[in-house]
Amino acid sequence: MLRNLRVNGETRKVDVEDGDAPLLWVLRDELHLTGTKYGCGIAQCGACTVHIDGVPTRACSIPVSAAVDRDIVTIEGVAGPEADAVRNAWTAHDTPQCGYCQSGQIMSAIALLRDNKSPSDEDIDLAMNGNICRCATYHRIRAAIHDAAKSLGG
């Protein structure tokens, strides 16, 4: 059946019979928005993090039926001062290694900075410990978030 998804500000029609299909696979296989990654399928690693109505959400564990009529933002569409600040800081630190988890890391970091202009190390731990990076770029992720906060005047 056709469902309307509001993704990155546009309404997209997707033909998905099974309402239980995880949003992750609809974004990827139907819309070819491939920046959102599969890592575990059980909301343990955060590689699939998107924003739904502004809230960082694991796309592998939310059924597409629950995402209809809500604002879905992926790494391809995320914008605004926090997004710019995070990308700039990520670039300044050359944070990514393999890069596969970084979409999810960046989506979590942007959501954190929208909520909290001046996060402490503990705030960063709480907001980011659902995002696994097997390359262990955590050291630079933390530094980049602090720098992004500073650039936003936090």
The residue within the footprint of other proteins, chosen from 19, 69, 94, 120 (CB under 8 A), is 94
End-to-end CA distance of the chain: 46
Stretch that binds other proteins, among 51-59, 65-73, 112-120, 138-146 (CB under 8 A): 138-146
Residue 135: CB minimum distance to other proteins, A: 5
Total length of the chain? 154
For the segment 74-93, give every residue that binds other proteins (CB under 8 A).
Answer: 74-76, 87, 90-91
The residue within the footprint of other proteins, chosen from 5, 49, 73, 96 (CB under 8 A), is 96
- Beta 55-58 vs 49-52: how paired, if at all? antiparallel
With binding defined as CB under 8 A, does residue 141 bind other proteins?
A: yes
The residue within the footprint of other proteins, chosen from 53, 65, 66, 135 (CB under 8 A), is 135
Amino acid at 52: I
The residue within the footprint of other proteins, chosen from 3, 5, 7, 28 (CB under 8 A), is 28
Q: What is the 3-state secondary structure (H, E, C) of the chain?
A: CEEEEEECCEEEEEECCCCCCEHHHHHHHHCCCCCCCCCCCCCCCCCCEEEECCEEEEHHHCEHHHCCCCEEECCCCCCCHHHHHHHHHHHHCCCCCCCCCHHHHHHHHHHHHHHCCCCCHHHHHHHHCCCCCCCCCHHHHHHHHHHHHHHCCC
With binding defined as CB under 8 A, does residue 120 bind other proteins?
A: no
With binding defined as CB under 8 A, does residue 8 bind other proteins?
A: no
Residue 53: CB minimum distance to other proteins, A: 20
Question: Which residues contribute to the site for other proteins (CB under 8 A)?
Answer: 17-18, 21-22, 25-26, 28-30, 32-42, 44-45, 47, 74-76, 87, 90-91, 94-103, 106, 124-125, 128-129, 131-142
